[in-house]
Amino acid sequence: MTATPPATANGRKTLFVTGGASGIGLAAARHFAARGWFVGLADINTAGLRDALAAIGPDNGVTVQLDVRDRAAWDAALETFATAAGDRLDVLLNNAGIASFGWFEEVAASDADRMIDVNIKGVVNGAYAGLPLLARTPGSRLVNVASCAGIYGAPKLAVYSATKFAVRGLSEALDVEFARHGVGVRCVMPWFVDTPILQAGSQGSNEVMRDRIREGGLPVYTTDEAAQVIWDAAHGAELHYTVGKRAKQLRFAARFFPGAVRKQMKASTSAF
């Protein structure tokens, strides 16, 4: 039997997305592929990657196993992608992220380390590895997924919030720096989105983030809504993009009424 050759871009625009096996990453991959883009799906979950490729159509992308904490693995993954993509990268979507939910002292230090390694170092590694290919692609974009927890620190998500503030700050700095290379940088900050991350909890507790959101009556937005915002970020001129009406409200309040936001956070941890 003759092996089926891997799909190639054949002149199409290209997207490389981390955390592409599920959640926002997969939704973005479907959104871009449906509009004619060729997608590189990267994730640590190989079984999930197979399903993800089937979801976008085998002719519309390739899969690469990638632990975003591993810089050497980043280089190898993008080399594989570049071969299939015709040595172009129109959008690199740094989406992979993890969370642990609970009071700061209840979250294991090892879990905090993993969040820092995946959520910050993973994004930094992507920027380092992706820049050469982005710089060779006219009009390219680096899109980093942060969070509303990077607008104002969220209780029971202290370290997660810190990582997302870092992603926001990195995006703002690189938007200025990467302009020298013709690469635009965008930062997407979702409110709560219906992804597996809402199942995040902490050691020694049965409570997960989804429980707290439900108790607080807070909205949860869809991955398709997030994917549309990522599409807008890949094509728009703004630096920051939010997902969901509540995200816009928080961004406004944190900017103009930070004292009121602080009071609300302290009054009711169920708000976040």
Q: Minimal CA–CA distance to 265: which of 175, 186, 187, 161?
A: 161
Q: Are 217 and 270 in contact (CB under 8 A)?
A: no
Q: What gap in Å lies between CA 48 and CA 187, rounded to an integer?
A: 26
Sign of the alpha-carbon dihedral angle for 76, 81, 83, 84: positive
CA distances, 87 to each of 25, 136, 142, 155, 175 (Å): 22, 8, 16, 43, 23
What the block records as the tokens of 268 is 């009711």
Q: Are 221 and 197 in contact (CB under 8 A)?
A: no
- In the set 128, 152, 160, 241, the catalytic residue is 160
Reply yes or no on whether 221 is catalytic: no
Q: What gap in Å lies between CA 187 and CA 164, rounded to an integer?
A: 10
| Active site residue ranges | 160
